[in-house]
Chain A
Amino acid sequence: MLAMLFRRLGLGAITVWLVSIIIFLGVEMLPGDACTAFLEREAKGKLLENCREDLGLNRPALTRYAEWAKGAVQGDLGVSAKGQKPISELVGYRLRNTLLLASGAMLAGIPLALFLGVVSALWRDRPVDIVVSTLAIFAMTIPEFVSATLLILVFSVWLGWVPGIVLTPANAPLVEFFPEVLLPITVLTLVMTAHILRTVRSSVIEALASEYAQMACLKGVPYWQMVFRHVLPNALLPTINVIALTIAWLLGGVVVIETVFNYPGLGRMMIDSISDRDLPVTQAIALIIATVYVGVNLAADILTMLANPRLRTMHIRKG
């Protein structure tokens, strides 16, 4: 178990490192640099020279990567190419805001998805299942920006209950994001609930049809006891991975939602930094997102293993 953990951590570190190289190469390969992106059609002569001098862009790419990597390992993510501000400061607030959005959606979405998924599986093909499944299909297939725009239209333009756009600056205290953050959380909840719900439903249905469930039934175990003792524990294991993926997606910054609602999170910052060719910021965010993906997936695997005695012993025997 412990050996496996270390191996996975090592692999994770390598993944993150590879991601940083790919991102660096990708941004390098895009036409233009931070200076031409900023200066647009004034990117000529002295102005361009001064800018490149200031940002150290006239040094070879390899040197710049090496310097960045050296700093990153020591926990120093460098300074933003444009604002000349420390990145940890810039990204910190954005990460916090994305966390707020993500945790809001998770707190609302995960219990809701589990509940609705189990209900629609237990009453399969009944009216409640048909209604829930149909709504889930809608929530999954309508693009987020459409549902976002519709919600803004109804709740902020027509009814005037909540503000449509987030105008709170990135570094404001968390409390100030209410009630502006409610609409984006609602949209995210809709999408993620639908995804998780469908997995829960199919895996509960599968467990209900399994031999051990039938065996329990034949032995005369009461229906609800069978559901809670035998079906749900087995059925919910696979959903841990789906939930983990969803969490990773949420923490990676939901670009479309953040743009539509003008929300100052990681996703919008990533897009802005790419179009500004602000390599240090892009790198830092990519690093965070990659780490989150690796970390959350690792956590999910460990949880699955702890919850499943068979997997646990298999690894012990192997290791």
Chain B
Amino acid sequence: MKNIIGAASGLVMIASWAFAEPQGTFRQAHEVGSGSASSLDPISKGRVFQVTEKIMSRLVRPDMEGRPSPDLAVKWSANADATEWTMELRSGVTFHDGTTFGSEDVVYSLERVLDPEMDSPARSAISMITNVEAIDESSVKLTLGSSFADLPLLLMDYRLRMIPEGSGDMIATTGIGTGPFKLESFDAEGTTKLVANMDYYEGAPAVAEMEIIGITDGQARLQALLGGQIDMERGITSQQRVMLEGSDKFNVQTIPTGNWRGLIFRTDVAPFSDVRVRQAMRMVADRQAMVDLVMGGGAVVACDTPVGPRDQYRAELDCPQDIEGAKALLAEAGFADGLDVDLYVATLEPTWPILAEVYQKQAAAAGIRVNIKQVPSDGYWSEVWMQKDAVTTRWNERPADQALNEIYLSTAKWNESYYKDEAFDALLSQARSELDFDKRRELYTQAQAHLLQTAGTLIPYHVTRLVGTTARVSNLDEVENNSVRWHLVSVD
């Protein structure tokens, strides 16, 4: 009897060992956004995040609800006014090259982001950090220039990944990190190969290999998914969804995101310098109709707030279409006969022209005559955006504080609507230093409500991401890239 039990438990052990052994290859595509300037340096402009997110780790990462949860930092705490943060680091973690991860690597990685000479695009996200120092082997202290209660939220930024001390010059090609996968070969325009990191601190990954394949053309990526040449394509359109859902060879995930598209009316030029005109421009929008017509229902209505629907600071606002109200405001501002607006769009973002046309029809009811000017996608960001008076824009999800500060603060680098409002600036700085969560949320809510009253940016919706996978994929978390636990993904 004993023998039988022993044999059985032996079998179970063998079975579970066999199960734990990583197996199969998971393949996905990326759009080669930076061409031959693509890099594995997580903070460079050319970073291929589809690769860095799998080979490198952050201090803090979002959990399934988007809240900060431990990654390389296991615990953190702040002093009374949130100007000094102590992060306790995970111990026993090694980089892919065998060196031990420790506080000096954190200091190096963060100082590199903050270095003005590097001028990394990630710098503005954590520019309030003035000093990073190692307390001992496994803890660091971050000193801030001003109070900031939500620092962990910012440390979740997808670019803030930890690399070995002194590796800055080589990281673009070596890709050494602490993530669940190790780099085998990097070829941004061809196929990048990753292998399972058996020493990953959360356990060995479920798949043995990953291939990240560069396919520039969106249609070609879909064909590759349909033909079973890749296993996952993130960001399929609602039309393509119909194709995939009709087949049992594919699955589709629906993920609400904080990514948005919008129309900008520059607040520093007439007639939009008049707040009444700006209000009217936004009141004419029937946002639900926009969601249905432009996105085929695949979006969540927003009331001109850049804060995503799943963010803990999202304000619940109401913004129905109000044609009469808009007419009244326009008349008050001296445009009783309506006004003419040149709206610039490009096909850089395929939904912009459709959004502009829907807006044109809706605005016409209030006497706003929108003249759509189609311009080349080439050079759109340098020649049109932030240059012309009325343009289209798009942004990807970022935490509430970052979204509000980077796009609307008077001094923001990307203040695309040239929005300058002292009351709004004050609300943001109060929110940052408020340590009580409920009070802080109240302040962020007020700031968003203030935008609905005064902003020049029409944000009709936040896009819902559709992720198509082949049926052989399982355990892929139904969240944005930023939160996916890649070591759990498995293939048959």
Contact = CB atoms under 8 A, between A and B. Distances in A.
Contact of A30 (B117, B229, B378): B378
Interface stretch (B10-18, B183-191, B308-316, B326-334): B183-191
Interface string A54-81: 0000000000000000000000000010
Contact of B34 (A38, A160, A264): A38
A46 B36 CA distance: 22
Interface string B371-390: 00000101101110100000
B325 interface: no
Contact of B229 (A31, A167, A268, A272): A167
A264 B37 CA distance: 17
A261 B217 CA distance: 9
A50 B46 CA distance: 15
A47 B117 CA distance: 8
A42 B121 contact: yes
Given A152-B223, A164-B223, A43 B116 contact: no
A152 B119 CA distance: 45
B379 A30 contact: yes
B24 interface: no
Given A42-B121, A167-B213, A262-B216, A156 B227 contact: yes
B220 interface: yes
Given A82-B37, A262-B220, A47 B119 contact: yes
Interface in B197-233: 213, 215-217, 219-220, 223-224, 226-229
B35 interface: yes
Given A39-B45, A169-B187, A44 B381 contact: no
A104 interface: no
Contacts of B378: 30-32, 37, 275
Range for the number of chain B residues in contact with chain A: 35 or more
Range for the number of chain A residues in contact with chain B: 35 or more
Contact of A164 (B217, B226, B385): B226
B36 A41 contact: no
B55 to A, nearest CB: 19
Task: Report the 4 A-B pairs with minimum CB-CB distance, sorted nearest first.
Answer: A169-B190, A83-B36, A31-B379, A164-B227
12 contacts: A30-B379, A38-B35, A82-B37, A163-B229, A164-B224, A164-B229, A165-B227, A169-B190, A171-B190, A262-B220, A264-B190, A272-B216
Interface of B: 34-37, 45-46, 116-117, 119, 121, 187, 189-191, 213, 215-217, 219-220, 223-224, 226-229, 376, 378-379, 381-383, 385, 413-414
Interface of A: 30-32, 36-47, 50, 80, 82-83, 85, 90, 149, 152, 156-157, 160, 163-165, 167-172, 259-262, 264, 268, 272, 275-276, 278
